């Protein structure tokens, strides 16, 4: 297996890097460098810059606005996004519901929705999880009963990320309560403005507001918003979840964070020397860097294998990337906490996100977002399928247990 890039691939990487550095507004990059939250408008602005360039939905077929890039080019695009750092295109549209529509949706659905996803004219959110149906997603109970040319939806979704901004939600709903649990599920597109929908925030441990509960009370959804066939939603969801995991390694993101850790630890003094020269700290940092290098090599192996892979089935190795990637992201936030020391304590969960980031932090300016970032990053080993569930997948699909 050859893990080296060709001359053309390296030239492509330079082109992407140069574009990101010149086209991304400095105000957005500065927020990301300082671990601050992005506003909705930042994400929309960046998506439209990418769309103008023709790179907004790089992973889609050319026919629907994609780039036709090879797996290596796709990988480089992601890596450069994270290294810049630049905002990730909103995954709910670009990597989840968009590809599902392309694979299983009607022509009308594709024409109506796909260009609006590319330009982020519609903000999508993901309505899969419910109370009692997370890892065991097939136990979901939100029902959709056919009534003439409509479905009537009742139930509750939870942990719905950024639903407070959403125009649309794609939902798994139960259309046949008598069938075996995986076989009675359908995939519905629901306009968030429909009467009967209520969005209620869940305030997270960092004081932020990025997840929600979404309630459906006799919500009428036109039958044309069903994706594919009734009761085949579980197959479409499996297709979608396989794609979700591959983006979660975030090697470029962690590399950028390690760079920032070194910068801060070089400036922070313990006694008469910088923290970066403290042996205990260096040991921990080196351990994270070794893991990160190993993850990068694993990711490159997956990408190299994709060069030759036929079909669209997700590689079970993506579960390894998810586990290691999330563990490393969490480890980097632990190092950040160590640098910030006592200034990590006074985080202020009583403020909402926008206000909190604008509060003058106690301690140096850069210290403010560190403790919230640490708390927020606990989520990465849970969403997209918990790390324990990924280990089950590895046990079955790779180890054959
Ligand atoms: C920040 C955040 C954002 C999210 N965003 C969304 C979203 O936008 N849309 C959406 O639909 N969902 C979203 N989720 C939900 C996420 O997918 C679920 O939280 C996740 O699948 C776990 O489900 P659960 O929370 O019900 O935990 P449970 O499934 O109840 O799991 C509890 C614990 O038991 C373990 N466990 C469960 N089953 C097994 C098993 N078979 N073997 C070993 N261990 C097991 C789990 O690993 C976990 O540690 C989000 C979650 C978080 C934290």
**Which residues, other chains included, contact 373 with Cβ-Cβ below 8 Å and sequence gap of 6+?**
35, 206, 333, 336
User: Of the residues 79, 210, 230, 244, which is catalytic?
Assistant: 244
In CATH, what class is 248-398? Answer: mainly alpha
Q: Which ligand 1 atom minimizes the distance to the CA of 392? A: 42
Q: Whose CA is nearest to atom 37 of ligand 1?
A: 135
Compute the distance from residue 211 Cα to the ligand 1 centre, in Å. 13
User: What pLDDT was estimated at residue 351?
Assistant: 47
Compute the distance from residue 387 Cα to the ligand 1 centre, in Å. 9
User: What pLDDT was estimated at residue 310?
Assistant: 54
User: What pLDDT was estimated at residue 229?
Assistant: 98
What is the distance between the alpha carbons of residues 368 and 149, in angstroms, rounded to a whole number?
52
Q: Whose CA is nearest to atom 32 of ligand 1?
A: 135
Q: pLDDT averaged over the chain?
A: 91
Q: Which of 90, 124, 127, 135 to mutate to test the pocket of ligand 1 (most atoms within 8 A of CB)?
A: 135
Compute the distance from residue 133 Cα to the ligand 1 centre, in Å. 8
The tens digit of pLDDT for each residue in 93-113 reads 999 999 999 999 999 999 999
The tens digit of pLDDT for each residue in 326-354 reads 999 999 999 999 998 888 876 555 444 55
Rg (CA), the chain: 22
Q: Whose CA is nearest to atom 12 of ligand 1?
A: 129
User: What pLDDT was estimated at residue 292?
Assistant: 97
The dihedral sign for the CA sequence 8, 12, 17, 19: positive
The residue length of the chain stands at: 401
Compute the distance from residue 351 Cα to the ligand 1 centre, in Å. 26
Taking the CA atoms of residue 66, residue 390, residue 371 and residue 266 in that order, the dihedral angle to the nearest 10 degrees is -80
Domain 124-233, CATH homologous superfamily name and number? Butyryl-CoA Dehydrogenase, subunit A, domain 2 (2.40.110.10)
Pocket lining for ligand 1, CB < 6 angstroms = 125-129, 134-135, 159-161, 211, 379, 382-383, 385-386, 388-389, 392
Cis peptide before 169 (omega within 30 of 0): no
Could you give the percent of the chain with pLDDT greater than 70?
92
State pTM to two decimals: 0.93
- DSSP letter (8 states) at residue 395: I
Q: Tell me the mean pLDDT in the region 139-151.
A: 98
Place of tokens 């590689």: 315
Spell out the domain ranges in the chain: 7-89, 124-233, 248-398
Q: Which ligand 1 atom minimizes the distance to the CA of 92? A: 8
Compute the distance from residue 326 Cα to the ligand 1 centre, in Å. 14
Q: Tell me the mean pLDDT in the region 212-217.
A: 98
Instruction: Using the CB atoms, write b or e for 300-320: b if 16+ within 10 Å.
Output: bebbbeeeeeeeeebbbbbbb
Q: Which of 386, 391, 394 to mutate to test the pocket of ligand 1 (most atoms within 8 A of CB)?
A: 386
**For residue 323, which phi and psi values (nearest 5 degrees)?**
-65, -55
Q: Which ligand 1 atom minimizes the distance to the CA of 126? A: 9
User: What pLDDT was estimated at residue 226?
Assistant: 98
| pLDDT at residue 177 tops 90 | yes
Is 244 a residue of the active site?
yes
What is the distance between the alpha carbons of residues 290 and 112, in angstroms, rounded to a whole number?
47
User: What pLDDT was estimated at residue 247?
Assistant: 62
Compute the distance from residue 388 Cα to the ligand 1 centre, in Å. 10
Decide whether 124-233 matches 248-398 in CATH topology: no
Instruction: Give long-range contacts, CB 8 A cutoff, 24+ apart: 273-277.
Output: 275/338, 275/339
């Amino acid at each position: 297996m050859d893990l080296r890039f060709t001359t053309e691939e390296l030239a492509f990487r330079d082109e992407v890097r140069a574009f990101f550095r010149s086209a991304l507004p400095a105000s957005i990059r500065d927020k990301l460098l300082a671990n601050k939250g992005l506003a909705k408008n930042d994400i929309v602005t960046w998506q439209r810059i990418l769309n103008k360039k023709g790179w907004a939905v790089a992973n889609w077929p050319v026919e629907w606005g994609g780039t036709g890039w090879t797996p290596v080019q796709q990988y480089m695009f992601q890596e450069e996004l994270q290294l810049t750092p630049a905002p990730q295109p909103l995954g709910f549209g670009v990597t989840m519901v968009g590809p599902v529509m392309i694979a299983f949706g009607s022509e009308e659905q594709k024409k109506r929705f796909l260009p609006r996803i590319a330009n982020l004219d519609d903000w999508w959110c993901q309505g899969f999880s419910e109370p009692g149906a997370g890892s065991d997603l097939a136990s979901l109970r939100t029902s959709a009963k056919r009534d003439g040319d409509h479905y009537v939806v009742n139930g509750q979704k939870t942990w719905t990320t950024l639903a407070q901004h959403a125009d649309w939600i794609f939902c798994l709903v139960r259309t046949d309560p008598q069938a075996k649990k995986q076989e009675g599920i359908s995939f519905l597109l629901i306009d968030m403005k429909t009467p009967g929908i209520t969005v209620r925030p869940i305030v997270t441990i960092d004081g932020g507001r990025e997840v929600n509960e979404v309630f459906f009370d006799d919500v009428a959804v036109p039958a044309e918003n069903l994706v594919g066939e009734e009761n085949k939603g579980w197959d479409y969801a499996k297709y979608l979840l396989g794609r979700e995991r591959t983006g979660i390694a975030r090697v470029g993101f962690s590399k950028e964070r390690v760079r920032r850790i070194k910068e801060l630890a070089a400036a922070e003094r313990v006694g008469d020397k910088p923290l970066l020269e403290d042996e205990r700290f260096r040991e921990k940092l080196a351990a994270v860097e070794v893991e990160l290098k190993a993850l990068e090599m694993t990711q490159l192996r997956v990408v190299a294998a994709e060069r030759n892979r036929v079909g669209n089935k997700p590689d079970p190795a993506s579960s390894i990337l998810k586990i290691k990637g999330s563990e490393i992201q969490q480890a980097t936030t632990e190092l950040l906490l160590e640098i910030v020391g006592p200034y990590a304590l006074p985080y202020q969960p009583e403020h909402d996100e926008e206000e909190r980031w604008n509060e003058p932090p106690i301690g140096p300016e850069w210290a403010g977002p560190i403790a919230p970032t640490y708390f927020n990053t606990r989520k990465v080993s849970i969403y997209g399928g918990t790390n324990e569930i990924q280990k089950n997948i590895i046990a079955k699909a790779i180890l054959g247990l």
